[in-house]
Amino acid sequence: MDIAQNILLTIMTAATPLLIAAIGELVVERSGVLNLGVEGMMVIGAVCGFAATALSGSPWIGILAAVGAGAVFSLLFGVLTLSLAANQVATGLSLTLLGLGLSGMIGEAFVGSAGIKLASIQIPGLTEIPLVGRLVFGQDPIFYFSLILTGGVAWFLFRTRAGLTLRAIGDNHASAHALGINVLKIRYLAVMFGGACAGLAGAHLSLVYTPQWVENMTAGRGWIALALVVFASWRPWRVLGGAYLFGAVSIGQLHAQALGFGIPSQFLSALPYVATIVVLVIISRDRRLTLMNTPASLGQPFVPDR
């Protein structure tokens, strides 16, 4: 039965970067800002995390560097779209473009160098429990953090006053402004939180998933995270469900191929996308609830003195 545990571990590893990046973007979008630069921030996080780890020898410093780099990089987006009210879609796309190019440049010296893997947790006596030991007590720290992050964000958004303020800004920034809330300040914080999360997701790729640096190593995962947020109708636990479903079908289809069932591999490769969309659309079919959860001023620039 060790194989079941191995498969579940592989699924969780595949889902974790998607989950972290999507949760970050969820907070950004809940505040009414659409940042399409997730892929770019993620790849910047991946390269900075790898580089800092290689230079310092400690993956923890790498993680800090990735989180910091993601946040700083997202600030660029913040200045352009919030202070200068530039178009969010165009700015987000350029952020991805810039991130992919910049990361290639930063990472040139690190291509092919041996990576340092962030060690998984080992608790003597517990990690060795058959069937579930490694699942519950033997994963990498970022995995545990991703669960705390999801719960924390869900609690923050729906159980705290600050979360209510953030959602209010996302729904109607003019009214929030009229109430005396500093819209831009909170949006800046949200954007930087999204950047930090994307950076951490990137670090997971280059320090846990495949401990190495190669150009474009995010391979579209930032876009999948973006899509997850929308299909999960901006709700944290649904994002988690979507990320795990996507991971499970992705890994499941690889196993189906290796078993040699003879199902066309092109169909199997498309399956994670199809399955995730179908399931999330079905659970989000309550239109009233979906409308309630959609940030009404998503993507609209806000200029306070207008």
Partner 1 sequence: MKKIVFALAATLAVTAGTSALAQDKFKACFIYVGSKTDGGWTQAHEVGRLYAQEKLGDKVETVALENVPEGPDAERAIERFARSGCGIIFTTSFGFMDPTIAVAEKFPDVKFEHATGYKTAPNVTTYNSRFYEGRYIIGQIAGKMSKTGVAGYIASFPIPEVVMGINGFLTGARSVNPDFKLKVVWVNSWFDAGKEADAAKALIDQGVDIITQHTDSTGPMQVAEERGIKAFGQAFDQIQAGPTAQLTAIEDTWGPYYEKQIAAAIDGTWKGGESSWDGLKDGILSMAPYTNMPDDVKAMAEDTQAKIESGELHPFTGPINKQDGSVWLKDGEVSDDGTLLGMNFYVEGVDDKLPQ
CB nearer partner 1, residue 63 or residue 168: 63
CB nearer partner 1, residue 49 or residue 236: 49
CB nearer partner 1, residue 55 or residue 164: 55
CB nearer partner 1, residue 209 or residue 231: 209
Is 223 an interacting residue with respect to partner 1 (CB under 8 A)?
Answer: yes
Site for partner 1 in 16-55 (CB under 8 A): 36, 39
Contact 33, 92 (CB under 8 A): no
Residues 6+ apart with CB under 8 A from 62: 48, 49, 50, 51, 52, 53, 54, 56, 116, 118, 203, 206, 207
Interface residue with partner 1 among 125, 130, 180, 264 (CB under 8 A) is: 264
Mask 90-119, x = binds partner 1 (CB under 8 A)?
Answer: ---x--xx--xx--x--xx--xxxxx-x--
Is 144 an interacting residue with respect to partner 1 (CB under 8 A)?
Answer: no
Q: What distance in Å separates the CA atoms of residue 220 and residue 206, rounded to the nearest whole number? A: 15
Residues 6+ apart with CB under 8 A from 190: 27, 28, 30, 31, 33, 166
Q: What distance in Å separates the CA atoms of residue 81 and residue 32, rounded to the nearest whole number? A: 12
Compute CA distances 115 → 111, 156, 209, whole Å: 10, 35, 11
Report the interface residues with partner 1, using CB under 8 A: 3, 6-7, 10, 14, 36, 39, 93, 96-97, 100-101, 104, 107-108, 111-115, 117, 205, 209-212, 214-217, 219-221, 223, 250-251, 254-255, 257-260, 262-266, 268-269
